[in-house]
Structure 1
Amino acid sequence: MKILIVEDEPKTIAYLQRGLTEQGYAVDTAANGEDGLHLALTGEYDAIVMDVMMPGLDGVLVLQSLRISKDTPVIFLTARDKVDDRLRGLGAGADDYLVKPFSFLELVARIQAITRRGRTRETTLIQVADLHIDLVSRRAIRGARRLNLTAREFSLLAALARRRSQIVSKTAIAELVWDINFDTNTNVVEVAIKRLRSKLEEPGEIRLLHTVRGMGYVLELREEGGL
């Protein structure tokens, strides 16, 4: 997941960037509202952590401009804890509000909460070639054929479909599908991929699930056959 930090205090930026990177997030930073707005509008972020009180373009003005075209989840950070201040921030479109000084673990928990809510707004229907996936009803249909998938196989297919045309590593699959980190030297991922592929691709059908040696797996339609 990718996070944008917009904060004018260098020590706070360094602290948050180091902590979130250690938690496995990719992090971009901006030291003022103008740069933060530019990054927020031109980049793709799972969440934005933004200070309210910044010189020039403050957090509320940044958020108001951002909300014209994007609904990226935003957590406001502020040293002001009056009700009116919180209402102003939430009224501008903030998803959450954290008062300084704050617990880093609480910030991580709130990032996880708002990104989960953000994922509920994503499309529930995904199509890759003649493969149709309904994330709500948890059904997958290839052409006129419904795939008889186990719960784990569907979760694996959904994880790849959400990242279609992107290479997904074994480590990422382990976390996304099993929700745990474990030694990917074991063959649990390979076995699951093999079982999914046997149901996804019958003889004569175009291959959609590809192995990228040394990197991971990708779900996509290719003009030429792949592994």
Structure 2
Amino acid sequence: MSSKILLIDDDDRFAGLVKRALLAEGYQVDIAEDGLSGLAQFTENSPDLVVLDWILPGMDGLEVCRRIRQVGTQPILMLTGKESTKDRVLGLDAGADDYMVKPYETEELMARIRALLRRTQLDQSIIYTFGDLTLDTSTRQALRNGRVIHLTAKEYDLLEIFIRNPRKVMTREVIFDRVWGYDFGGESNVLDVYIRYLRQKLESNKESKLIYTVRGVGYVLKEKE
């Protein structure tokens, strides 16, 4: 299941740009245009992460941050135009886990969000299941029909991307970004090599194929065709 992100910002144009970038990464996104509605949505929807502006109508972002911290432990990323060192200290002391200044680079924002979510997920044991395949994020162990599949770190990261996004085509660019942190370029075959290794391990007992190639796009985890 994709992570839910609550974006609290009163600038419609800016919020729209951030939302589109988040949706492109596969996140679910809710938007609140002021502090009070942001708190209400936080309580109602229980997001996995909050992206919070400082300057908001009515209740400002610092107070919103403090109130969220009173009731929840979800990571908060402050994304604001206030850029002084004092502002950063105030934001972090109010309970923010990270602080970014506008204007920002989309790639850096996405990377920081991924890092915050990873940090949170390390404290949680999530077990994903797809057919006869199981992945335990706390032990980083994969099982197929009860058989332990011994994976390298990169093979595990690849499999986690697929099982978190079943039946969804994952583009080569997205996979490179999430597993290696950058794009090797269109001519690199490193991804194809790792996919081949992963398939061999998943199908070593002649089990059905799980990872399919979508030519010119990427790969998808799905049921047997």
| Superposition TM-score, scaled by structure 1 size | 0.64
Identify the residue that residue 180 of structure 2 maps to in structure 1: 178
Identify the residue that residue 89 of structure 1 maps to in structure 2: 94
C-alpha distance 167-72 of structure 1, shift in aligned 2 (>3 A): farther
Identify the residue that residue 218 of structure 2 maps to in structure 1: 216
The counterpart of 1:135, out of the listed 131, 134, 137, is 137
C-alpha distance 122-218 of structure 1, shift in aligned 2 (>3 A): farther
C-alpha distance 67-178 of structure 1, shift in aligned 2 (>3 A): same
Identify the residue that residue 50 of structure 1 maps to in structure 2: 53
C-alpha distance 17-127 of structure 1, shift in aligned 2 (>3 A): same
CA contact (8 A) 1:37 1:62 kept: no
CA contact (8 A) 1:50 1:74 kept: no
C-alpha distance 87-143 of structure 1, shift in aligned 2 (>3 A): closer
Within 5 Å, give how 1:1-227 maps onto structure 2.
4-8=6-10, 14=14, 17=17, 30-34=32-36, 36-37=38-39, 41=44, 46-51=49-54, 54-59=56-61, 60-61=63-64, 64=67, 72-76=74-78, 89-90=94-95, 94-96=96-98, 104=104, 108=109, 111=113, 113-202=115-204, 204-220=206-222, 222=223, 225-226=224-225
C-alpha distance 156-113 of structure 1, shift in aligned 2 (>3 A): closer
Cα distance, 1:122 vs structure 2: 4.1
CA contact (8 A) 2:169 2:220 kept: yes
Cα distance, 1:119 vs structure 2: 2.9
Cα distance, 1:197 vs structure 2: 0.9
- Distance between the aligned counterparts of 1:149 and 1:103, measured in 2? 40
Unaligned stretches of 5+ residues in structure 2: none
Cα distance, 1:65 vs structure 2: 6.9
Cα distance, 1:183 vs structure 2: 0.9
- Distance between the aligned counterparts of 2:171 and 2:147, measured in 1? 28
| Superposition TM-score, scaled by structure 2 size | 0.64
Match for 1:49: what amino acid? L
Cα distance, 1:48 vs structure 2: 1.4
Percent identity among equivalent residues?
30
- Distance between the aligned counterparts of 1:199 and 1:111, measured in 2? 31
CA contact (8 A) 1:47 1:115 kept: no
C-alpha distance 138-55 of structure 1, shift in aligned 2 (>3 A): closer
Cα distance, 1:145 vs structure 2: 2.2
Pairs aligned (count): 211
Unaligned stretches of 5+ residues in structure 1: none
Larger Rg: 1
Cα distance, 1:127 vs structure 2: 2.4
- Distance between the aligned counterparts of 2:217 and 2:197, measured in 1? 19
C-alpha distance 8-159 of structure 1, shift in aligned 2 (>3 A): closer
Cα distance, 1:133 vs structure 2: 2.2
Q: RMSD of the alignment, in Å?
A: 4.4
